[in-house]
Chains A and B, each alone.
Chain A
Amino acid sequence: MNASAGRLRTVLAPVLLGVAALALWQLLIVAFEIKPFIVPGPLAIGEQFGSNFDTVLAGALVTGGNALVGLVIGGVLGILFAIISALIRVIDELSAAVIAALAVVPIVALAPVLYTMFGAGAETARQLVAAIAVFIPVYINTLRGLRQVRPVHRDLMHVYAASAWQTTRTVTVPGALPFIFTGLRIASSLAVISALIAEYFGGPVGGLGKSITSAASSSNYQLAWAYVLGAILVGLLFYCVTLGIETFATRHYKPSR
């Protein structure tokens, strides 16, 4: 009962704060008669969101779909490449500089180049941008996790005369799971942001990013904000789902004696 009360409080407190902030926002809009093209009120945004729900949902599916494809491709490649780097020292040494360079490149800046490579009519460029953005945190976190094998486990596998691959499969990778999931959780938000921003640079119409820019350029600010709300919800969904999977997969990973 105590635990459920605590959980209720952790959920309730931020919700109350959010509601209070929205109320204050609406109050300021009304009190100071702020024009919608500067900032529309939450009620106006909510109304637009409700009446355009189908188009927002369709846009969210396009952008979310691109982000998901990018997350899966970038995640799988990041994990596989980290495993290879952990097993073969040379590859790690060769790739360290490239990874560091890639980590500081603003990945979205690649979008226009990728559009010309894959054609402006396809979603491929956006998915690739998301995949590259995802790859880096997943790779770095996974590699760090793979290096955290406890000495007692390493001794044990040596005593069992286990092969490098057996050790990787039974001890190193499962032991790195908390790190892998942390990487994926960070990457999930990055995937949504990258897929969304990539839409600003061209490519097919239909996603949330394109809808935000076109609504804003036709002075339909409330609608633009409704799409922004949709983008926030997509980002939140990605974050919560990865967090949920992480919590479930690592539920027995409390520090053991």
Chain B
Amino acid sequence: MSEASAASAVEVAALQVTGVDKIFTGKKKATITALEKIELTVAPGEFVSLIGPSGCGKSTLLRLIADLDTPTTGTISVFGKTARQARIDQEYGIAFQQAGLLPWRTVTANIELPLELHGVGAAARKARSAELLSLVGLSDFAESYPDQLSGGMQQRVAIARSLAESPRLLLMDEPFGALDEMTRERMQTELVRVTAETGAAVVFVTHSIPEAVYLSNRVVVMSPRPGRIRDILTVSLGSASERTEQLRENEAFFENVSKVRELLHGEAPVGIRGVETR
């Protein structure tokens, strides 16, 4: 934590969210407060997970950061720019729960899509996609089409695509949510390695506690209706190279998992008991 804050004092924060509220207005002027008073700073190279039950606004927060939606109040800055400017300047890469590959393009053409849209030459695109394919271990599938790949492989292509322009910030919205547990754990290990190699900061939305603990430097625990940050837990499980498969059996890992679990269920028992005695 001290390293992270020292770094952020010198460098511009990868992400700075200040006093953000998001209110959705539905039909008949019914309003839903999706997010309330969100304050969050992410240092360059830091891995931060957003965790919370469904409807706590974690995906909404990610969409605000990505400028797919605008906050009702408050400001969001990415590397000192507004969210809109950061999007236009391609300061971040993004991966969604669905891989969202274009089925009519080969794996290579899918990874090259953002580069192609931003006018990168064919030779440079080719070199970059080859590099990314070997990074995610799919070099043998360069000319395959998405329908020939498994769900996990498609998601790896989506991650390679999000890294195409070497962003310093990665936004990930439950990218492993649709995968089975074994594939999921392997993908997590790979993501730790990939982000360590690229040095990118990551904002990672998940509702899996072990996933958040395994991947993150810090875990942001959120509560629903209205979506608020309940607490932020600093996880110190060592550098990326130390975070191997053995870590999942580690005592410190379990300690952090139960800490996050306690934070998540912090105020919940009162409400749950009320439901149960009905």
Binding site for B on A (CB under 8 A): 150, 152-153, 155-156, 158-162, 166, 170-171, 174-175, 177, 252-254, 256-257
Chain B residue total in the interface (Cβ 8 A): 26
- In the complex, are the beta carbons of B147 and A254 less than 8 A apart? yes
Given A159-B87, A170-B113, A257-B154, CB of A252 within 8 Å of CB of B147: yes
- In the complex, are the beta carbons of B147 and A256 less than 8 A apart? yes
What's the A-B contact tally at a CB cutoff of 8 Å? Answer: 61
- Residue B94 interfacial (CB < 8 Å): yes
- In the complex, are the beta carbons of B103 and A161 less than 8 A apart? no
Binding site for A on B (CB under 8 A): 66-68, 87-88, 90, 94, 96, 98-104, 113-114, 116-118, 145-147, 151, 154, 178
Contacts of B146 in A (CB 8 A): 252, 256
Contacts of B67 in A (CB 8 A): 158-159
- In the complex, are the beta carbons of A160 and B102 less than 8 A apart? no
- In the complex, are the beta carbons of B102 and A174 less than 8 A apart? yes
- In the complex, are the beta carbons of A159 and B94 less than 8 A apart? yes
B89 to chain A, nearest CB (A): 8
A-B contact pairs, 13 of them (CB 8 A): A152-B96, A152-B98, A152-B100, A155-B100, A160-B113, A160-B117, A160-B118, A161-B88, A161-B90, A174-B102, A252-B104, A252-B145, A254-B147
- In the complex, are the beta carbons of A170 and B102 less than 8 A apart? yes
User: Other CB < 8 Å A-B pairs besides A152-B100, A159-B67, 16 of them?
Assistant: A156-B94, A158-B67, A160-B113, A160-B114, A160-B117, A161-B88, A171-B102, A174-B102, A174-B104, A252-B104, A252-B145, A252-B146, A252-B147, A256-B103, A257-B98, A257-B99
Contacts of B90 in A (CB 8 A): 160-161
Q: Which residue of B lies closest to A156 (CB)?
A: B100
